[in-house]
């Protein structure tokens, strides 16, 4: 495919994204499912060229920014508190699914080497961060479940990639060492964390020195690709390096970004992430025609591979249920012994078990298989089938399942976190205390009586000075007082968050309001001098 034709196909896909997003909203479907079906439909349009995805390019273009998006907005406190549960899913569930799928495939295709069976298991075992985010952001879940599922999707790719690497090597060479594989896994994971920390803190230092908003936004966005590329270049986990960098940037962005930079950067970032998420599912659907054509057409694929592919799909779904429910039963038994209480949450376990959508990583790894890999045709078709079934079936039914099980969003009722009303009360008190010494002169006279009637005053002062080129001293002082109060409120906001009194979501909500107020005040302060 020529570069011009590829560009036209991307433009056509972007146009299709608009129509499919509207269709998904009308039919109340997850957009990811609509994009995938739309891509499949486009794949069989006469005249459109077959799409051959480069797996390395797909991972490099799409994975880093989408991982960073999840890490940037992750909730630190809940991530730490649920780390054991996240690792049980990100490592334990992936290992268990790989084992179950490998055994199941070998049962129905006994001639396929064990290493190839486990390679297939490793490819389809990790739920995808892109697919999970695209589906879960449209449903309402308790924070603990969202933390578990989002945290799992951020970390499990590293487990799957390591298992895949060793399974492929064993299939091609016939050699495998469990001790060597275990050591390499920890080296890759810890090395990825080290690279992510180094790049994250270096990035924060650079951002503090940049004054231009566009350079700040550009540097922050490039960090996702830089951390991934550097991690892979150093032969550690680029996935974990990217996630670590994103979490560090998300923690420090409240100090390094101004209000205007944060508003502009977030708006640009959200549009870019939306387009990347949508485009990746379109491309997955478009690649179907090439996958089927390489294996003799739909009829031949169904006749020769239906049984093993069906076994893979069933194994993927049931193994996750077995792991999650088994873990919940063990946790309940342990609580009964230690705390003399046993409250297994089977409804939440059902949701976690069903929320196992696969996506871009599964397809990209399958396409990257060496040509001489035993069972390559089966692995490719099974990988695509797992993506199709999990996104279309699980992705479209998880919302109704949540409603059926009556899983409601549960806020922190322990009193450890402040409510929005309590947080605003503190912020307004801090602003008032910061403004009080500024609105009175040395004699105690009120200097800014109209500050408390801001809306009317701004309208009057703008009309009075609309033709005045020189900034008015009174107006400058007025907005200076407002900015001083906002600065005090912002400092108190971060203090409450760092002290563990404020949830990350509420922090971002309140910070957004303060950012809008600051931008308005800065605009009002500088606007009089505009020619």
pLDDT digits (tens, 9 = 90+) for 180-200: 777 877 888 899 999 999 999
Q: How far apart are CA 3 and CA 182, in angstroms?
A: 43
| pLDDT reading at 346 higher than 90 | no
Please determine, for residue 64, whether its predicted confidence score (pLDDT) is greater than 70: yes
Overall average pLDDT of the 370-391 stretch: 82
Last residue in a domain, options 376, 405, 434: 405
Section 371-380 average pLDDT: 80
For 384, half-sphere exposure in the C-beta direction (CA atoms, 13 angstrom radius) is: 23
296 and 236 together in one domain: yes
Nearest CA to 517 out of 259, 143, 191, 165 is that of 259
Please check whether residue 488 lies inside any domain of the structure: yes
Same structural domain for residues 245 and 314?
A: yes
Q: Quick one: 318 and 449 in the same domain?
A: no
Query: Do residues 109 and 367 touch, judged by C-beta distance below 8 A?
Result: no
Tell me the mean pLDDT in the region 423-446: 64
Q: Indicate whether 220 belongs to any domain.
A: yes
Q: Name the percent of the chain lying above pLDDT 70.
A: 76
| CA distance linking residue 279 with residue 369, whole number of Å | 23
The DSSP bridge partners found for residue 446 are 440
Burial class (CB in 10 A: 0-12, 13-18, 19+), 301: buried
Lowest-pLDDT range of 16-20, 173-177, 333-337: 173-177
Q: What is the pLDDT of residue 318?
A: 93
Within this chain, do residues 305 and 341 fall inside the same structural domain, yes or no? Answer: yes
pLDDT for position 300:
62
Q: Which domain holds residue 305?
A: 3-405
Asked which of 359, 378, 405 is the last residue of a domain, the reply is: 405
pLDDT grade for 457, boundaries at 50, 70 and 90: very low
Could you tell me the pLDDT band of residue 39, with boundaries at 50, 70 and 90? Answer: confident
Residue 224 inside a domain? The answer is yes
Q: How far, in Å, CA of 181 to CA of 136, rounded? A: 33
396 and 511 co-located in one domain: no
Give the CATH number for residue 431.
1.10.132
Say yes or no: 171 and 301 in one domain: yes
Q: Flag whether 412 is in a domain.
A: no
Residues 356 and 425 in one domain: no
pLDDT at res. 452: 43
pLDDT score for 52: 72
> Structurally, how many domains does the chain consist of?
2
Has residue 478 been placed in a domain? yes
- For residue 68, the SS3 value is helix
Determine, yes or no, domain membership for 455: yes
**Per-residue pLDDT at 499:** 74
What string of DSSP letters covers 347-399? HHHHHHHH-----HHHHHHHHTS-TT-TTHHHHHHHHHHHHHHIIIIIHHHHH
| Together in a domain, 275 and 392 | yes
Long-range contacts, 425-428 (Cβ 8 Å, 24+): 426/492, 426/496, 427/489, 427/492, 427/493, 427/510, 427/514, 428/489
- pLDDT of 41-60, one tens digit each? 887 777 777 777 677 787 78
Lowest mean pLDDT among 209-223, 328-342, 511-525: 328-342
Summarised one tens digit per residue, pLDDT across range 392-415 is 888 888 878 888 887 765 444 444
Query: Please, are residues 204 and 252 in contact by the beta-carbon 8 Å criterion?
Result: yes
Q: What is the pLDDT of residues 250-261, one digit of tens each?
A: 888 888 888 888
- 97-112 tens-digit pLDDT: 999 999 999 898 888 8
Work out the mean pLDDT of the chain and round it to a whole number. Answer: 78
Segment 366-383 shows an average pLDDT of 80
Q: Are 427 and 363 in the same domain?
A: no
Query: How confident is residue 435, by pLDDT bands cut at 50, 70 and 90?
Result: low
- Which pLDDT value is given to residue 470? 43
Q: Is residue 410 part of a domain?
A: no
DSSP H or E stretch at residue 138: none
Same structural domain, 358 and 309: yes
H-run or E-run covering 327: helix 298-338
Asked whether residue 260 is domain-assigned, the answer is yes
The C-alpha atoms of residue 355 and residue 321 are separated, in whole angstroms, by 10
Structure tokens at 519: 């931008």
Q: What is the number of other CB atoms lying within 10 angstroms of the CB of residue 431?
A: 22
The pLDDT of residue 469: 46
CB 289 within 8 A of CB 43: yes
pLDDT given for residue 34 in this prediction: 84
Shared domain check, 443 and 306:
no
- The CATH number assigned to the domain holding 327 equals 1.20.1530.20
């Amino acid at each position: 495919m020529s570069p011009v034709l590829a560009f036209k196909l991307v433009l056509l896909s972007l146009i299709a994204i608009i129509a499919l997003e509207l269709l998904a909203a009308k039919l109340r479907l997850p957009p990811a499912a609509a994009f995938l079906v739309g891509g499949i439909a486009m794949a069989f349009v006469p005249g459109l060229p077959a799409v051959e995805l480069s797996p390395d390019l797909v991972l490099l273009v799409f994975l880093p920014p989408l991982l960073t998006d999840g890490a940037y907005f992750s909730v630190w406190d809940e991530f730490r508190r649920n780390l054991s549960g996240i690792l049980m899913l990100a490592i334990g569930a992936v290992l268990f699914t790989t084992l179950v799928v490998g055994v199941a495939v070998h049962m129905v295709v006994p001639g396929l080497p064990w290493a190839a069976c486990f390679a297939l298991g490793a490819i389809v075992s990790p739920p995808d961060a892109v697919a999970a985010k695209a589906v879960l952001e449209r449903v309402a879940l308790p924070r603990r479940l969202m933390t578990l599922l989002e945290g799992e999707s951020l970390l499990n790719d590293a487990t799957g990639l390591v298992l895949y690497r060793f399974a492929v090597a064993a299939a091609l060479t016939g050699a495998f060492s469990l001790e060597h594989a275990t050591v390499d896994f920890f080296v890759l994971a810890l090395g990825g964390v080290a690279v992510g920390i180094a790049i994250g803190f270096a990035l924060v230092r650079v951002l503090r020195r940049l004054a231009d908003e566009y350079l700040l936004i550009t540097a922050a966005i490039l960090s996702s690709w830089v951390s991934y590329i550097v991690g892979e270049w150093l032969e550690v986990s680029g996935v974990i390096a990217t996630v670590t960098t994103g979490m560090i940037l998300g923690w420090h962005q409240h100090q390094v970004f101004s209000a205007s930079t944060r508003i502009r950067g977030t708006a640009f970032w959200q549009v870019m992430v939306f387009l990347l998420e949508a485009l990746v599912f379109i491309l997955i659907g478009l690649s179907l025609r090439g996958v089927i054509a390489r294996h003799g057409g739909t009829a031949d694929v169904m006749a020769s591979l239906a049984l093993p592919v069906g076994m893979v799909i069933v194994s993927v779904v049931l193994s996750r249920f077995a792991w999650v429910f088994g873990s919940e039963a063990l946790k309940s038994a342990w609580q009964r012994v230690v705390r003399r209480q046993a409250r297994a949450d089977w409804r939440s376990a059902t949701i976690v078990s069903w929320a196992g959508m696969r996506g871009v990583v599964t397809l990209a790894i399958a396409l990257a298989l060496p040509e001489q890999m035993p069972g390559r045709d089966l692995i490719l078709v099974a990988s695509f089938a797992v993506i199709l079934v999990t996104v279309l079936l699980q992705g479209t039914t998880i919302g109704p399942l949540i409603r059926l099980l009556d899983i409601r969003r549960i806020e922190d009722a322990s009193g450890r976190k402040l409510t929005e009303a309590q947080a605003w009360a503190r912020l307004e008190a801090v602003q008032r205390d910061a403004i009080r010494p500024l609105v009175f002169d040395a004699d105690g006279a009120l200097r800014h009586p109209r500050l408390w009637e801001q809306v009317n005053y701004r309208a009057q002062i703008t009309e009075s000075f609309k033709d005045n080129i020189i900034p008015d001293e009174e107006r400058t002082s007025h907005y200076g007082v407002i900015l001083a109060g906002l600065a005090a409120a912002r400092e108190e906001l971060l203090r409450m968050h760092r002290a563990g009194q404020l949830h990350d979501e509420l922090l971002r909500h309140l910070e957004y309001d303060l950012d809008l107020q600051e931008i308005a005040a800065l605009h009002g302060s500088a606007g009089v001098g505009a020619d």
